[in-house]
Every structure is written in C-alpha cells, then in structure tokens.
Amino acid sequence: MPDPPLVEVRRVNAVAVLTLQREEKLNAISPAVERELVAALDGEEVRASGAVVLAGAGRAFSAGADVDELSGLTPEEIVAYYADTGAVYERFAALPQPTFAAVHGYCLGGGLELALAADFRIADETAVFGFPEVELGILPSSGGTHRLVRLVGPARAKELLLLRPRFSAEEAAGFGLLTDLVPAGQAPARALELAAEAAKLPRLAVVVTKQAVNVFPETSREAAVLIERLAYAALGQTTDAGDAARAWAERRAGPRE
C-alpha cells in the first residue's frame, strides 16, 4: 500500500483545504512535507479555488522544523535547507487567492513562519505560538522574521523573538497576529466559513487588491495612489464589476410592484 499523504487536499465548494498529516510528529515540517505542499499548491484543487485554508491534523498546527532531519547537516546544507523551505512558504504567500491558517495547539518556529505566510490566521484558545530559535542559538530563517516585523512592527517583533519564546492565542490576538480567536476545536470551521465568504467575491478584484496590499509597504504614496487609480479603471471595465454594479442597483431600488 502507498504511504498516506503528508498533506491532504480536498475541496469544499470553492475553497481548497490543505491539512498537514504528520500527527505523530506534531506536523513537523520536513523536506517530504514541503514537496507535498508544493505539489498541493500547484495542483488543480488549489488553482481552481477561490480561497485556501491550511490546517494541521491531530494535536497541533505545526511544531516547526523536524530537528531529526537537520541533525548532522553542515552549515552549507542548513542554509540550502532553509532556502528551500523559504521558497515553499513564499509560494504559499504568493497564491493569488486569499489564504487562511487554521491554528490549534503548537504553532512554533517554522510552523509559525508558515502561518505568518497566510493572509489570515484563525486560532482557537488552545493555540501556543512562539519562535524558540534564539534560545537555540539561531533565528527564524524562512522569511518569518521579515513577516513578523511587517505584521507587528520592529519593537514588538524584537519582544516576541527575544523575550517571549511562547505566547498564548489570546496574546497573539492582542499583538494583532490573528483575524479571529475562537473556542477550542472551532478554528478549521471558522476559517472555512471566512474562506467561503472570500471565495464569493469577484475573483479579479480580490487578486488585484491582495497584490496591491502586499506591495504597498515598499511603495511610495504617489506610486501607490497611481496603482490604485489604474487598477480601479481596469477593474471597472470587467464583467464582474458590471454585474456587481447592477446587482447593487437592484438591491437599492428594492422589490418592484
């Protein structure tokens, strides 16, 4: 019999749901997991979806890198390993559709880096977050440090990296890392609910809006405003925009006699 998948892929209407399936390892990230995640991200279920949810099976979202896989590697091999991991996370971050991480249990190290690559994070009250890397004499090396700074600012990022190797879901919400905090066991359902709503939106407008928000932090105000106006003009000519405008006008007019 073939080995069970390390990343399960399924569709729920217009939403692609990806689930890490290494329960015995708390969904630790290994090269094999990364290969299956890349295959899932490039697959038809994701390409045809309007939104993507990423979750973890069992007791955790992901406890981070599989340290057993790293033992014995030379410094050069470790650099190459994290370059590959960062490329996988960047591919997830670069998906055109909205992405949601449904977090429960441990979300540590590389697991937190993966969650930060999502557009939205939904966590339940059991979630435990943290970057333990500095305690181990290293630092997050798959893009997580940069994403953390962009999300919470330099001062808070230093606090979380240097002073808080673990923090609770409630604290994560207070830091602005979460879109929603839900009771235990409800993160996947809530993420799917929000993803389904996002998937109903006009697809091209969603893609352009996400890309604009992603580039605006490194864009001058003048360039950002120009991008907005050009995108508005282009999107206004699409069928989606015309259909949405007519539907809005009909709702405003109310029922006809």
> Which strands form 128-130's sheet, in the order they lie side by side?
60-62, 106-108, 128-130, 167-168
Give the pair of three-digit tokens for residue 138. Answer: 């290293």
Per-residue pLDDT tens digits for 135-144: 988 889 899 9
CA dist 250 and 90 (Å) reads: 41
Choice among 39-48, 201-210, 224-233 with the minimum mean pLDDT: 224-233
pLDDT at site 93: 97
Q: For the segment 161-171, what is each residue's pLDDT rounded down to a tens digit?
A: 999 999 999 99
pLDDT band at 1 (very low <50, low <70, confident <90, very high): low
pTM > 0.85: yes
Check residue 236 and give its pLDDT: 81
Per-residue model confidence as pLDDT tens digits over 30-86: 999 999 999 999 999 999 999 999 999 999 999 998 888 877 788 888 888 888 899
As a whole number, the mean pLDDT across the chain is 92
Q: Identify the CATH number of the domain defined by range 203-253.
A: 1.10.12
The pLDDT value given to residue 235: 85
Q: Which top CATH class is 7-199? A: alpha beta
Buried b (16+ CB within 10 A) or exposed e, 120-156: bbbbbbbbbbbbbbeeeeeebbbbbbebbeeebeeeb
pLDDT band of residue 103 (cuts 50, 70, 90) is very high
Return the higher-pLDDT residue of 84 and 3: 84
Active-site amino acid positions: 65, 110, 113, 133
For residue 29, which phi and psi values (nearest 5 degrees)? -85, 120
Q: Where are the domains of the chain?
A: 7-199, 203-253
